[in-house]
Structure 1
Amino acid sequence: MQLVPIHSRGGDYLVALQNIAYLRNDENGQTKIGMVGGDSLLVVGKMEEIAAIIAQHSA
């Protein structure tokens, strides 16, 4: 299982790479990460920035 470190205003997450379902732009330069079988996470950064972090850890 690969874990991806993602930053949030409320704290940091280690997200299991295989559980990420989608990314969606949100307000104030934040992104929602949809999780398989769970609620979405609101994280700091634009969708492109979060996608780059995820891609970096999936290689």
Structure 2
Amino acid sequence: MFEMMELGIEMQKAVREVQLKQLDAASEALDAMQRGAAETMQRQARAWNRWRRFWGGGE
């Protein structure tokens, strides 16, 4: 019986470790998406400013 409890505890530890790794991966993916969105917004703002300057709109 004690061995079964030990096995159960080890399984729970393994499951928690996998879950933590999944959360870390998800966090990294979200960070990358946010960086990508911020970079896209900056590129769009620069493009819009160039377009306005081209047509004489100034800054």
Interval of TM-score (by shorter of Structure 1 and Structure 2): under 0.3
CA radius of gyration, larger in: 2
Higher strand proportion (structure 1 or 2): 1
Query: RCO greater where, 1 or 2, for CA within 8 Å and sep 6 or more?
Result: 1
